[in-house]
Structure 1
Amino acid sequence: MSVVKQPPYTMLDLVKIVDTWPYPSDPNYNNHLSSYYTFHIPPFPHPFGYIHRDFVQDVPWFPNLWNINHQTRKMTFISPPSFHSRSEAMRLSLLAGHQSPNPVPSLRRWTNEEFPLLYPPTREVVLKLDGCGVDMLGGINETVCVVAYVTIPGQEHKLWISKRAWWKSAYPRLWDCTAGGGLAFAETPLEGMVREAWEEVGLPKEWMMQRAKKVGENSFQLCRTEIGEDGCQMQVQHLFEVDLSGGEVVPDVKKAMTEECEEVRLVGVGEVKRMMRDGEMKPGAAMVILDWMIRWGYVSEETEGREGFEEIKRRLKRRLVIE
């Protein structure tokens, strides 16, 4: 498991920066897993995620709600079997960690945003929880991402990209895709994308609902939380694109720059590639744009070599497995 730490990056380097969880064939795989506890909720037979041992040690887990087996490295969440009772018990658990005298970084900010916890084999939603607990519990984290583009006859495409605000806890002032964010509880991916596109860059909701296209998913697994702690993220990106070539609708730059972004810019594909290679783009957003570039032919076997291109495609669609 090697990560290129300094730019300039190749496209495969960018994927390796994001898809850092070792594969079973990696010699370091078992040693890596020894730092994690599997997260279980009865009566579901399969685990929900991986919790890093630092969280196990540093968070005040209620003994009436959590059974911790240090020998088998299992964390079992014990709650009444209904959706609402599970959700309330999880809220109390996370709130206790948030209100402790020295909370772990993930729990310091109570987001007041509810997200689903998914059962990995079926993606059934088994409870809802505050966003501060998503990364800590190491479960599947669904996001929605949209790339808005402009077609110019005889020229390369241009993409609308946004620069993250300075106050963002993760990746401040790095470039991002047009809009994106976490998929909230009870939202469909389309609804989530439309909400994020309106909130972040002012793209009209009804117009986006009608014009934006779902183009697939990315999935990959990280060894860090969003803010850089040791942990597990199993990311699923729901990918959308929208053609803004007609000029009828464009991002609302004034709205975006007063709320979520420092800058919104229309940039040619070549310059976006340079930004990606020079480390100026948020790593997860680079995966969204990389997928777009593959579909539109800007990244291919010819540009990356056969083996590199095949590895990029394979790792962008990683099968998420918890053992």
Structure 2
Amino acid sequence: MPILRRMRNLFTMASVRAEVFSAFKFIEEMDTWPYYQQDPTAYKKHMEDFYYFMVDGYAQPFGYMHREFLDNMTWSDEWKVEQDSHSIILLPSSFESRTKAMNDTLRANFEENRVVRKWFNENFAITTPSGEHVLDMDGGGVDLFGVVTQGVHLTGFTRTEQGLKYWVPRRSYNKTTFPGLLDNFVAGNLGSMERPIDGMVREVFEETGIPEAYTREHIIACGTLTYQMTVTNDGRPGCQHHSQYVYEMELLEGVVPQRHDGEVESFELMSLKEVQAALMRGEFTPNRTLTYIAHFIRHGIVDAENEERIVELCARLHRKHDLFIV
């Protein structure tokens, strides 16, 4: 029997549905950016608070910046702010000069006025819809500029005498975002032009100490999730565009995750019922809830029998990152 079908059978047999569990609640909390097609007038009203992040020579925006950030940032002469068109335009013409101008701007605003609240020292790729690599940006600026970012997320499980259980980490209390909340088994951002599987394998080792060879042998790719929010990761008004590459992996007997890089406070084995109850109590990092919802759908735990809005739920888990000017 193929491994993915075998996994589906395992999860279906293990599923004890929580009576009060509501999958649709989480998509309503996360998929908050308005839809232009539903109400163009309301969408245009919403966009009055945003400026389009443009790169000179390209017709489409690369992101949306809230006016609160634009008004409080320091801009060099490598930028042009157009009030009439609500545009902030990066002027340099080469990949290297754009990247330098962007990261110099972010660094200055990190050190001077704290609009940039965190410095990642890790570059993320900014590309066109067709995949052209236009510049790199430090992670501290992705939410401010409302650009599309990519991450990798892994659901880890094991079989016990009590049945199938999930490995659930608690985030370190020293984390700058969502300290102490529960999380996916492993999650992280993809660096500039990093392959998703390579990023996932790297994150698994960094956060749990599980060797690369084990992960590559046992991990299963499960597609993607996409969402667009009206707040930044630290809760300020803005635009958060994100794509998740999602994976699942069974931890066989003797394979136990360990605290490895300080990102995790502890790991706990939780039953499906315990995970669902913790989700409903708001104990998980917000965007991680979608990873679990997608997992539940894949394995028949959430289906048309217990979620009457399953069609809309599935559609909104895969929002198109369509940046345009209205």
Establish whether TM, by shorter chain, passes 0.5: yes
SS in 1 for 2:60: coil
Contact 2:21 2:277 (C-alpha < 8 Å) held by counterparts = no
Normalization by structure 2: what TM-score?
A: 0.88
Once the two structures are superposed, residues 203-258 of structure 1 have per-residue CA deviations (whole angstroms, 9 ceiling, x without a partner) of 211211222121100001001111111110111001111122x3142212xx24x7
**Structure 1 residue 44, shift from structure 2 partner:** 2.2
* Alpha-carbon distance change, 202 to 158 in structure 1, aligned in 2, over 3 angstroms: same
The equivalent residue for 2:310 is 309
The equivalent residue for 1:98 is 110
State the alpha-carbon separation in 1 of the partners of residues 79 and 98 from structure 2. Answer: 12
State the alpha-carbon separation in 1 of the partners of residues 110 and 28 from structure 2. Answer: 32
Normalization by structure 1: what TM-score?
A: 0.89
RMSD: 1.8
**Are 2:187 and 1:180 aligned?**
yes
Contact 2:49 2:67 (C-alpha < 8 Å) held by counterparts = yes
The equivalent residue for 2:34 is 22
SS in 1 for 2:306: helix
What count of residue pairs does the alignment treat as equivalent?
303
State the alpha-carbon separation in 2 of the partners of residues 9 and 19 from structure 1. Answer: 19
**Structure 1 residue 28, shift from structure 2 partner:** 2.8
Contact 2:21 2:276 (C-alpha < 8 Å) held by counterparts = no
The equivalent residue for 1:300 is 303
Q: Partner amino acid for 2:111?
A: Q
Pairing of 1:35-50 with structure 2 (within 5 A)? 35-50=49-64
State the alpha-carbon separation in 1 of the partners of residues 318 and 193 from structure 2. Answer: 24
**Structure 1 residue 90, shift from structure 2 partner:** 1.1
Contact 2:56 2:93 (C-alpha < 8 Å) held by counterparts = no
The equivalent residue for 2:208 is 201
**Are 2:236 and 1:229 aligned?**
yes
The equivalent residue for 1:251 is 257
State the alpha-carbon separation in 2 of the partners of residues 124 and 298 from structure 1. Answer: 39
**Are 2:92 and 1:75 aligned?**
no
Pairing of 1:146-157 with structure 2 (within 5 A)? 146-151=154-159, 157=164
The equivalent residue for 1:127 is 135
The equivalent residue for 2:246 is 239
**Structure 1 residue 9, shift from structure 2 partner:** 7.0
**Structure 1 residue 156, shift from structure 2 partner:** 5.6
**Structure 1 residue 309, shift from structure 2 partner:** 1.2
Q: Partner amino acid for 1:34?
A: E
Contact 1:9 1:278 (C-alpha < 8 Å) held by counterparts = no
**Structure 1 residue 108, shift from structure 2 partner:** 2.8
* Alpha-carbon distance change, 160 to 237 in structure 1, aligned in 2, over 3 angstroms: same
**Structure 1 residue 278, shift from structure 2 partner:** 1.1
State the alpha-carbon separation in 2 of the partners of residues 125 and 209 from structure 1. Answer: 28
**Structure 1 residue 151, shift from structure 2 partner:** 4.3
* Alpha-carbon distance change, 34 to 10 in structure 1, aligned in 2, over 3 angstroms: same
State the alpha-carbon separation in 2 of the partners of residues 109 and 318 from structure 1. Answer: 27
Once the two structures are superposed, residues 190-211 of structure 1 have per-residue CA deviations (whole angstroms, 9 ceiling, x without a partner) of 1111111111122211211222
**Are 2:287 and 1:276 aligned?**
no
Structure 1 residue runs of 5 or longer lacking an equivalent are 1-7
* Alpha-carbon distance change, 124 to 275 in structure 1, aligned in 2, over 3 angstroms: farther
**Are 2:119 and 1:118 aligned?**
no
Residues 226-235 or 197-206, more deviating: 197-206
State the alpha-carbon separation in 1 of the partners of residues 287 and 81 from structure 2. Answer: 32
The equivalent residue for 1:287 is 290
Q: Partner amino acid for 1:110?
A: W
**Structure 1 residue 267, shift from structure 2 partner:** 1.0
SS in 2 for 1:169: coil
Q: Percent identity?
A: 32
Q: Partner amino acid for 1:240?
A: Y
